[in-house]
Amino acid sequence: MFTAFLIKYAEIGVKGKNRYLFEDALVQQIKYALKRCEGEFKIRKAQGRIYVDAVGEFDFEETVENLQTVFGISGICPVVYVEDEGFEQLSKTIVDYMDRVYPDKNKTFKVVARRARKNYPLDTMELNREIGGVLLDAFPQLSVDVHEPDINLYVEIREKIYIYSRIIPGPCGMPVGTNGKAMLLLSGGIDSPVAGYMISKRGVKIDAVYFHAPPYTSERAKQKVVDLARQVSRYSGPIYLHVVNFTDIQLAIYEKCPHEELTIIMRRYMMKIAEKIARDTECLGLITGESIGQVASQTMHSLYATNEVCTLPVYRPCIGLDKQEIVEISEKIGTYETSIQPYEDCCTIFVAKHPVTKPNLEYIKRHEENLTGVIEGLLETALSTKELLIVRPED
Ligand code: ATP
Ligand code: MG
């Protein structure tokens, strides 16, 4: 019965003069998400509201699901709207609405009227009372509860009259494209896709870099990362995924540096390369899935040593989350099932049995000197041979 949605947005409502920029970005992102859906849609902005109208046939569930990937949306309300043809006609529409949306009438309700057009003959209080009365007459099983009703029935008198009662939660956040771009270090694990999602949620566009180590890591492991990027791109929009061959760098480190420092040194080179690509592509920060203490390479000492090579800000949105909390987000955004597929990642192959948990930065730097003369060329080759994949949600 619904052919339209009222889109609620919270945070972007408070942006003062920039508000229209945020609203326009939101409209763009809604259009983009709806391209993936059956049917044709019209989107219109009116009085601080965004409405999505379906033109002809459309799939309700699919449409809601896709709207739920648009950052900036706090609520999706399936709405019925009618021309103002007097209170009697409105009463009929509302009775019909309640009858169809709530086949089981054993419920409590409350009418929440709003009058954006002050020339309507009834004021808000009168509307609440009158509509409440009409519904109680029509459906004697219904009862009113103004404190905790099962149903909040919203009736908004604007240029047209809007009726809705369901508010399906959106992902909240801010529309992508309103807050610059950052480079995500995307591995095949659980944490980094979640980290990308969280930063993108703040309106940031993301690109990604993946380090692989063929033949130690397989084509399947790489495909897994592409799949994760695709899932994140449902929220973030298209992701430019840079795939860097890290094998020779890893082998050089393995050969010339103490094994208990392998992971840290490797992580430092990953950050260095990621930062170079980030600067070349106008990214203003790096993003990783690190969380304090999760593994040896993520203790405070290790993070200190890793971070030391970066001059761009490094965003680590999972930093204070427990693994279980990260897992919950990954389940919610649909990356978990892919992340737990058992393909090797390039770190697991070269890990030491007893990695340092308190790396000493001076030692690390001294040991990295063993790579002088070799590493420069390897870094150059890694950058010049990188592959660029454009990952889109619809592919
Ligand atoms: P994740 O679940 O994201 O893989 P993790 O718990 O396995 O994280 P690490 O392997 O220590 O942690 O990696 C820490 C972070 O470094 C990752 O979250 C990711 O941002 C980055 N990273 C690790 N390996 C790679 C890789 N092969 N390519 C790109 N980034 C990587
Ligand atoms: Mg990992």
Helix (H) or strand (E) holding 391: strand 387-391
Confidence of residue 295 (pLDDT cuts 50, 70, 90): confident
Distance CA 200, CA 192 (A): 12
Q: Which residues contact 209 (CB under 8 A, 6 or more apart)?
A: 183, 184, 185, 186, 241, 242, 243, 244, 273, 274, 277
- Chain-wide mean pLDDT for the chain? 94
Q: Mean pLDDT, to the nearest integer, of 29-35?
A: 96
Q: Which ligand is nearest to the CA of 210?
A: 1
Confidence of residue 203 (pLDDT cuts 50, 70, 90): very high
Distance CA 94, CA 98 (A): 6
345 CA to centre of ligand 1 in angstroms: 9
- pTM value > 0.95: no
213 CA closest ligand 1 atom index: 27
**DSSP tag of 116:** S
Q: Name the CA dihedral angle for 162, 164, 170, 175, rounded to a multiple of 10 degrees.
A: 0
Distance CA 206, CA 198 (A): 11
Is residue 66 within 6 Å of ligand 1 at its C-beta?
A: no
Ordered structural domains, the chain, with CATH: 4-169 (3.30.2130.30), 181-391 (3.40.50.620)
Query: Between the CA of residue 241 and those of 121, 183, 208, 220, 226, what are the distances in Å?
Result: 58, 9, 5, 16, 8
At residue 193, does pLDDT exceed 70?
yes
209 CA closest ligand 1 atom index: 29
Report the percent of the chain where pLDDT is more than 70. 97
Is residue 187 within 6 Å of ligand 1 at its C-beta?
A: yes
pLDDT digits over 134-186, tens only?
A: 999 999 999 999 999 999 999 999 989 999 999 999 999 999 999 999 999 99
188 CA closest ligand 1 atom index: 4
Beta strand 151-157 with 75-82: parallel, antiparallel or unpaired? unpaired
Taking the CA atoms of the chain, what radius of gyration do you get in angstroms? 27
Q: What is the pLDDT of residue 12?
A: 60
Q: How far is CA 194 from the centre of its chain?
A: 9
261: its two tokens: 């420092």
Q: What is the pLDDT of residue 29?
A: 96
